[in-house]
Amino acid sequence: MTSKTLENKSSVISELEANFKAYPGVYIADFSRVTVQVVTGLRSSLRKKGMKMRVAKNTLIKRALDQAGIKGLEKHLVGPTAVIFSDDQDPMAPAKALVEFHKANEGMLPVKVVSIDGAAYPGTQLAALAKMPGKRELQASVVSLALGPGQKIAGIIKGPGAAIAGQIKAQIEKLEGGAQ
């Protein structure tokens, strides 16, 4: 093996290790039946949504997993493998993107395993994961739940108070009009 080959492999391992540490959403898929044209389109689509896709040899992926301290995913590294990374803003985003991809490209890129924040899920659960709300959706729900009761209380308090204030103002205007 030449030093250039070793450098390239070391570079791939370092890149994968950094991604495994940086991205909480990791999707490992079977890359065996995917054409170059299809994968180019998928990569472009994923990149636009803030995700990364990397194809590498299983031995390099295993070493990167070991160096990143991630256990339990190596048993899924059989055959040609693609790894999709998703950031902490929405670790469910790849599930949604892959379900859409599978609708248009049946049988291509089946997901072997999904790891979100260290918890592993079988690839067969991809559709269920895609239906789960993302981080932003959950945050919006929490905010609306927190603000909802406060808005109702303010409306309840304001309602009768505004009516009384209106009656007092009308009475004052009536008395002032009658005094002149």
CB neighbours of residue 108 within 10 Å: 18
Please report the pLDDT score of residue 132 as a whole number.
81
User: How many domains does the chain fold into?
Assistant: 2
Print the domain residue range for 125: 3-132
Please report the pLDDT score of residue 170 as a whole number.
78
Residues 123 and 155 reside in one and the same domain: no
Please report the pLDDT score of residue 136 as a whole number.
73
| DSSP labels, 34-88 | --HHHHHHHHHHHHHTT-EEEEE-HHHHHHHHHHHT--S-GGG--SSEEEEEE-T
Residues 141 and 121 reside in one and the same domain: no
Please report the pLDDT score of residue 168 as a whole number.
75
Please report the pLDDT score of residue 139 as a whole number.
73
CA distance 39 to 21: 24
Residues 162 and 80 reside in one and the same domain: no
Residues 83 and 171 reside in one and the same domain: no
Residue 69: which CATH number? Answer: 3.30.70.1730
Mean pLDDT by 10 residues, the chain (180 residues): 83 93 91 87 89 93 94 91 86 88 87 89 87 75 70 62 70 72
